[in-house]
A and B are shown apart, each in its own frame.
Chain A
Amino acid sequence: MASIKLRAKEKDGEVTLKALVSHPMETGARKDSKTGELVPAHFIQEVICKAKDQTVLTAYWSGGVSKNPYLSFKFTGAAKGDTVELSWVDNKGEKDSASATID
């Protein structure tokens, strides 16, 4: 399941990471327009970003993050060619991860 698009770019010693994850991010409060039933909560709870096997950012999310979440952040201490890895876990225990090379 390739749910993650990951890009990392280094410029002047700063790495900017951008990630786009395919995920419904259901809050559990939305009603299905056809059935009127509540759509069960289904959202990413934890995102871990690592560079060179060191955790640089851990994100904790609620269902308040938009569908198909976008995340961008910056860090230092890595160079072009180093590997970044992003992984997520949702409230149903589903998970995915992806890695990319810093450009």
Chain B
Amino acid sequence: MSADTKRRLFLKGSLAAGTVGVAVGAGLLTPQTVLGAWSEAAFTAKEVPAALNALLGSDTTEHSDGIEIKAPDIAENGAVVPVTVSTSMEGVESIALIADKNPVPLVASYDLGAGALPFVSTRIKMGKTGDVVAVVKAGGKLYSNRKGVKVTIGGCGG
């Protein structure tokens, strides 16, 4: 077992025990990753990894074809791009939506509560042609998939 996995286990353990403060104190987690509030750091981050770190505590995601992203191949109006994310995975805790070329890439994050099925649909803005990335947290792990969307008229103003 590598030191890194040990650390992860330690983190998980301390979270499970409810002593989040230990992890925060150790400087491994920023306060924003302690769930339950709108994360300023994540929603103002200009880069995808920084946003993921602030939102989910890690930017390491495993590609999964089990995540289905429905979005148009070509969006004529980047101000309104319908995106639907669904997956057949079990134990989904949250779904994050990212438009990787936007000035602020993290668009939305959904925390699934009791009974919620892993399915969300929203309309997002896309500044220019890029990928829509869905990051699904399931069983404590992060999975992602992406879909390219060609934008003919950008929707982020300016």
Contact = CB atoms under 8 A, between A and B. Distances in A.
Interface of A: 14, 27, 29-31, 39, 45-46, 51, 54-67, 69-78
Contacts of A14: 117
Contact of B43 (A57, A62, A72, A75): A62
Interface of B: 38-39, 43, 79-82, 84, 99, 102-117, 119-125, 155-158
A97 B114 CA distance: 20
Nearest to B115: A77
A69 B116 contact: no
A55 B113 contact: yes
B114 A65 contact: no
Given A46-B38, A59-B109, A61-B108, A75 B158 contact: no
Which 10 A-B residue pairs are closest in the complex by CB-CB distance?
A30-B157, A77-B115, A64-B107, A72-B121, A66-B123, A74-B117, A58-B111, A62-B43, A55-B113, A45-B38
A54 B106 contact: no
Contacts of A63: 104, 125
B122 A76 contact: no
